[in-house]
Structure 1
Amino acid sequence: HTKMAMYQDRIFAFSPTGELIQLPKGSTAIDFAYAVHTDVGDTTVGAKVNGRVVPLRTPIENGDQVQILRSKAQEPQVEWLNFAFTGKARSAIRRFVRQKEREETVALGRKFYDEIVKRIPAELGKEALPGALKRLKLPDQDALMEAIARKLVDDATVMDALMPGSAEKAGVKRREGVQREAISMKGLTPGVAFQLASCCTPVPGDRIIGVRRPDEPVEVHTIDCRKLAENQDADWVDLAWGDGSDGGTAKLSVVVKNEPGALGVMSGILGAHSANIVNLALSHRDTGFHTYDVNIEVDDVQHLMKILAALRAADAVSQAERTPAA
């Protein structure tokens, strides 16, 4: 009875050559492919079950004959995780996706690195990069490029690691504290503390309002921020940007084509418009397109609109929008 119960949770299917493949109940065609071999799973484009072409998400039944259709050009897709059932299939897909994401992040970081080097006021020697890795306590170049892309280090830190003192000579400031000094508010008593809300990330030029709570800085929101509905009992303050206010962080959602160089096009446009990337994260990936959440430092709304217009004009970019207020 114990053996019977054990086999009730298993499926026995066959390859076209008669090879028996044992799988847990609930497995799909993609699980069958990875059970045959990891290379088979990685290059799967489709499947035939009992001679009929079926989607990869199709559950496998006892006694099915499964033929896996392959292409050398195929790679594992992140959406396969929605229907992969076995641990072997899921771990193989995750491993590939993580490696692919890291390669893309390193490539993007290298493009940012090249832009940073151009701002250093003297040509770098051969020992500059190895020396920078030691100063930053990073194991290799890829780790540095990844740190740059993920904004774990800012431009000034990288410049000074490559050539000490070069950031100050080039007039490049560190991120900390720069934004607050450049922003002032009309409607607040001088010296009253304020902070820009992270939910809607207002930038100079947005219509804004302040929310005042006891013993807390005044929180500045865009006028259309959905979070304002949760603050009906708070003290609202009518605000406007002070003269000469400059600088803020804007959140974007950018959809690029899944093709070589697309990320480089996006970063090139941002660099050309002097938009410093504060954070970059891949939020969605499918066969044709990748969606990135990008936080960038901009001067004001007009600067932001120019950046969005430039992104939308690029062939590699399918869509570029400011992330709506939460």
Structure 2
Amino acid sequence: MSRGLVPASSFCDDSVKGYDPAGRTGGSIIQRLGGMIALAAAATIWGGMYVVSKELLTAVSPVLLMWLRYGIASVVMLGGLIARRQLQFDRDTLKWALRVGVMGYVLSIGAQFWGTALSTATLGSVITAATPAFMVLFARLLYHEGMTAAKITAVGLATLGVLLVVPWQGAARITWGSGILVAAALTWALMSVWVGYMPPTISTTRVTAYAIGIAWVLITPAAWVSLPTVSAGVWQSQAFWLGVLYVGVLSTALAFWLWSYGLRQVDPATGGVFFFFQPLSGTILAALFLHEAVDPSLVIGGVLIVAGVIVSQWAQKTPSPRPVGNRGDGEDSSVNP
């Protein structure tokens, strides 16, 4: 889960609607390898985002960091739409953008940053990695998706992993932060399932770009209220702005593109497995740069979460009765903030 603004995870409409192998399975080995590298790179960038954001959140509030991130991402993504002459507005697209913007980019990402600020970067990257498995649950509750043994196993493994990862004893602040991170994973899973049922004629790229812009507008009042709490030295810090650029450009615009490109080369069920690079990179980088401890329960819980993600993606290899439709503009159908 942004994780990127796009999962993430997340992971894509094809994985929810039933994978259509046309156009992907015929790719060369080099193309598929390139796609796998792109997917691994995107997930690694999202893992690193938790480490960078943890440091940034010592200087600014979660809402202000979100505001800066979305401001930069809006310029990059809306600029890309303008350059490709794809900046179009219609009622249905804006309706879905509002839905995604509020649930995904305001509530879920807000919980992600808030939970990371209260707990640790390691917990943030590991707990939110359970998002794909939780998507199975919401698909069942909202759209009556069939529950196979594999899907039930996926949800069970991910839930058990989260329960092991959350530090129930010790600092109450970290426990509360972990609970907020669970809420972030659940709300992102809910948003991702919604997107999976979005009409195929609507461009997911436009919805994502507009949703980020909507989220930026919605949180602007709260961000401005928190501005006076930031010291002048923060705005003059080169390291601070490099971190903001990482969060806004690398973990949003670039990682989104890498994930979209990767899913064009491999089937989503295989591609989703690469999401395990997020908790792996997040844990390693947090240990190296933030000196965060990694205890046995975190390792065991992380392994169970990753196993749940792998099983949930394997379960998606069974086609759904709903038809797969290509986006009207030929764009990739993944959404990963």
Q: TM-score range by the shorter chain?
A: under 0.3
Find the structure with the greater CA-based Rg. Answer: 1
> Larger RCO: Structure 1 or Structure 2 (Cα < 8 Å, ≥ 6 residues apart)?
2
Q: Which has the higher strand share?
A: 1
